[in-house]
Structure 1
């Protein structure tokens, strides 16, 4: 019996290779299997052996529907950035029943409360969909849909499921979006399972079905015991840059004074545009600055500097150093005049807790 069972399961695995991994043989004897117990009684009368008496008992193995849905290892929140699309969380469905089953898979949003990994649910992802990832390559096998039907998941097999969602551009650093996934067991022909209750009398020659799933509660999801449904949760955590932009000016010469220069016609003004990324913010990249030179001033050629240092970004900031760039629209990180009368420049990446600046000069008309 054992060798025959192993052969049958191996054959099913080949035919459903796109749906499951190697079986672990934990489900037990296949439902519908007949178990026969024969007994023989030998006895004598007056020292003479009599005809052997025998009896047998036969019953069929009932169906035990039990399975698990869980976040796939390695577990942890999925870090995302505002505006990203098609971000995935990954789950694994394992059929530990003693029969082949179908499943309906449905994703949903958490509404407030504690998310899977301890954060507080604060926003919803958009375009929440689900798909099968049978080969576990983190890519949907076919287009994701609002719900998913998994057909013929054999006993002791598992398969990977992806939940896919888009992150709103309005999401802010540190916000968490919790999602839930449910799996409901069906017969292998896609019909609903009718389960026996504790009041159902077990028939020796009939296959009864019982749900054996246990109740679940807490951050991992909530489901009742013995309802043929399991749930699991996961979450997205936003890692966004938290940028502040400051623009200050100082008079560096007025053509007359030796100190405390005044903003008189002919004076040179040095502008500093600083960009600061708050501690804990994600690294900001591709930072471009465009600044129209103010009316009643004239840009001073060759004075653009990028990636300047900033002390105490804000209204009282001090800016210095930086890399001098040309005014031409060329390969370096700055230019003047495109668009007209506009200073432009790009800064290097700014990590959380850091700042950088673009500096240029103009003369008061």
Structure 2
């Protein structure tokens, strides 16, 4: 049967058992198979018996166009600032070789956000895991390789998180596979388009199948609270010249995800002087110089790099002292 060339770079992609996600039973006898038989009649006439055969009746089995798409990502996949990988299986449930056009739709009705589609990828090495630079990226609107009857191809859809998504919001992504030969109501026939030139007939699936997989936004929000404790030269807590003011900056993470590259900085207030060597993180001293530890301090201000703060991590407290001039 005539096929559209698969013009996507699929280095090392072969449709062997390595690419079969799980077996499926194809719809009966293979397309193009010749079924033929001859009837026999035996009888008696007078003293003798006789046997005769009918003419031979032959037919070639048409190709049935069927497909099934299933999600392999049975739980919502976490998505924060990077990429989530959704897994699907596209199974040729017809009785002949067939390629399928894939379409991805992240704008499913009811979604609180629309995920960004980064790529559609075939599991080239059949290991069930997305391998960047190894698995073949499918161009938009292109077809899969031709799948033999019963064969299943694992497909990965790579998605990103759009701006404005709320923490813990769940959105779905639909993958649709359509037989390259054609689709339509069951029984629709494409003359001569099946394997070996037989007709191709649309099966019960309409030669089109779709399913949904989901992502869940995992975001973290940073809260920052500042307080001050004053110690004046007279043993009190009045903000008079010569008094020491110790500032505390408490950083707290909320939400179900993480915040990356968190850095807290604070300027030295006008009318005060930073007291060298007073910068601390969670009570541990930091050097003022830009060196191996997380903090720096100078006459203009302080800065502490906290890195990644994950959901549920403890508060981080930064403190430093200035003197009122």
Partner residue of 1:237 out of 213, 216, 219? 216
Q: For residues 28-66 of structure 1, give each alpha carbon's deviation from its aligned partner in whole angstroms, at most 9, with x where no partner exists.
A: 211221212222222111121235344544333232222
Can you give the 5+ residue segments of structure 2 that lack an aligned partner in the other structure? 1-12, 190-196
Deviation at 1:97, TM superposition (A): 0.7
Mapped pair 1:270 → 2:267: no
Partner of 2:130: 138
Say whether 1:159 aligns with 2:153. yes
Unaligned runs of 5+ in 1: 1-13, 114-120, 200-205, 214-225, 308-321
Does residue 332 of structure 1 match 2:293?
yes
The separation in 2 between residues aligned to 1:23 and 1:271, in whole angstroms, is: 62
Q: What residue in structure 2 maps to residue 46 of structure 1?
A: 46
Higher strand share: 2
Secondary structure in 2 matching 1:331 = coil
Deviation at 1:25, TM superposition (A): 6.9
Aligned residue among 88, 93, 109 for 2:90: 93
Give the match for residue 264 of structure 2: 289
Partner of 1:123: 113
What's the offset of the Cα at 1:145? 3.1
- State the alpha-carbon separation in 1 of the partners of residues 52 and 218 from structure 2: 80
- RMSD of aligned C-alpha atoms? 2.9
Please identify, of 14-23 and 46-55, the stretch whose mean Cα deviation from structure 2 is larger: 14-23
Shift of 1:233: 1.1
Deviations 1:167-218 (A, max 9, x none): 234333212232111111123xxxx35777389xxxxxx95543333xxxxx
Q: Helix, strand or coil for the counterpart of 1:52?
A: strand
**Matched residue of 2:99: which SS?**
strand
Distance in 2, Cα, partners of 1:69 & 1:198: 21
TM, length-normalised to structure 2: 0.82
* Closer/same/farther in 2, CA of residues 169 and 22 from structure 1, 3 Å limit: closer
Contact 1:270–1:360 (CA under 8 A) maintained in structure 2:
yes
TM-score, scaled to structure 1: 0.73
